[in-house]
Amino acid sequence: MAKTLTPSFVELQRLRLDDARALLDHDGNVTLPPPEASPTAYLQAMIDGLCELSLKDPLTGLANRRHFRAVVERSIDVVARSGEPALLLMLDIDHFKKVNDTYGHQAGDQVLQAIGKALSGCVRPMDTVARFGGEEFSVMLPSCHTGFGAAVAERIRAQIEGMSIQIAPGLSIKVTVSIGGAFAPEWVRSTATLWTERADMQLYRAKAEGRNRIYLDQQQEIYVSAEEKNLLFGHLSLGEPAWIESVSSDAPGGNAGSAMQRVF
């Protein structure tokens, strides 16, 4: 990918880096190496820091919408290729406006941060939690079996329902969330927009049905099991290509799985 560039020397002094530096300093998480030691390392660290910043929601530290979109698109590729189910959850804090109106926006921010932290604690490291916008969050759970979807969503809902969020010394409040979810249609190359729409529709449903509840879009499962795969290739045992020899000749109805794995 990397093209060989003709060597050229960038003079740091000639670049306008003050704004970038200020952004990174303000974020606090990035320590830049001194520019004197290695200008290249300094510039690289700055670029890395900015990339990192561009993917994060500043308030909660979660993935931002831009980052999340890329994650969704990657998941779609995986699902279409492997048929492995993936779950997209959309969450919305119930009556968040009331929190803002009653306790002020700072309290609102604290609630958003607390929810973000709780969400991250409820999912696996491989999952992505994002602040989708406003008081809306989203979670992408790759390799999530359809049977577990409701359990994951319920865990999140219950966890948040049970939380007390401190918004001022001696003042804690409770909030609830509504959750809508949709599995990527297995084997189907969908689009991020359609998938999000499907999850959103369930979220609206959860809201309409009284909030603090979960609804998942139940798509019909399209799953091709190892047994089905094995049976599909019965014809190949009619004697032919050499590379398929590992399939036992009594493949139909025979023991699935083990013999077939070698074919792929």
Partner 1 sequence: MSDVLNPPESSEGSTGVPLKPIGKVVAVTSGKGGVGKTFVSANLAAALAKRGQRVLVLDADLGLANLDVVLNLYPKITLHDVFTGKAKLEEAIIRAPGGFSVLLAGSGMVEYSRLTPEVRGDFLQIMNGLVPHYDVVILDTGAGISDVVLFAVSLASEVLVVATPEPTSLTDAYATIKVLVAQQKRQTVRMVINQTARLGDGRAITTQLQQVLDRFVTTDTGKPVRLVHMGDIPADPAVRQAIMRRQLLLQAMPGSPAALAISQLAVKIEETVGLRPA
Distance of closest approach, residue 254 Cβ to partner 1, in angstroms = 14
Q: Which stretch binds partner 1 (CB under 8 A): 12-20, 23-31, 154-162, 186-194?
A: 186-194
Residue number, 80 or 163, with CB nearest to partner 1:
80
**Catalytic choice (11, 52, 84, 135):** 135
Between 22 and 194, whose beta carbon lies closer to partner 1? 194
What is the DSSP code (8-state) at residue 202?
H
Our finding on whether 58 is near partner 1 (CB under 8 A) is: no
Angle between helices 192-208 and 65-82 (to 10 degrees): 110
Active site residue 73: no
Long-range (24+ apart) CB contacts under 8 A made by 12-17 are 12/39, 12/42, 12/43, 15/43, 17/46
Q: Which of residues 230-249 bind partner 1 (CB under 8 A)?
A: 231-236, 238, 240, 244
Tokens 């991020």 locate to 192
Number of residues binding to partner 1, judged by CB under 8 A: 30
Within positions 191 to 210, which residues make up the interface with partner 1, using CB under 8 A? 191, 193-194, 197-198
- Determine if residue 8 is left, alpha or beta; phi over 0 gives left, psi from -120 to 50 gives alpha, anything else beta: beta
Q: CA nearest 133: which of 190, 48, 203, 184?
A: 203
Give least dist CB 143 to partner 1, A: 18
Task: From residue 59, give the alpha-carbon distance in Å to each of 71, 91, 123, 124, 178.
Answer: 20, 17, 20, 22, 21
Binding of partner 1 by 211 (CB under 8 A): no
Q: How far is residue 209's CA from residue 215's CA, in Å, rounded to a whole number?
A: 10
**Can residue 30 be called a binding residue for partner 1 (CB under 8 A)?**
no
Using CB under 8 A, pick the residue from 185, 202, 206, 213 that binds partner 1. Answer: 185
68 touches partner 1 (CB under 8 A): no
User: 237: helix, coil or strand?
Assistant: helix
Cβ partners under 8 Å of residue 168, min gap 6: 103, 107
Which residues of the shown chain bind partner 1 in the complex (CB under 8 A)?
A: 80, 83, 185, 187-191, 193-194, 197-198, 220, 222, 224-225, 228-229, 231-236, 238, 240, 244, 252, 263-264
Residues marked as catalytic: 135
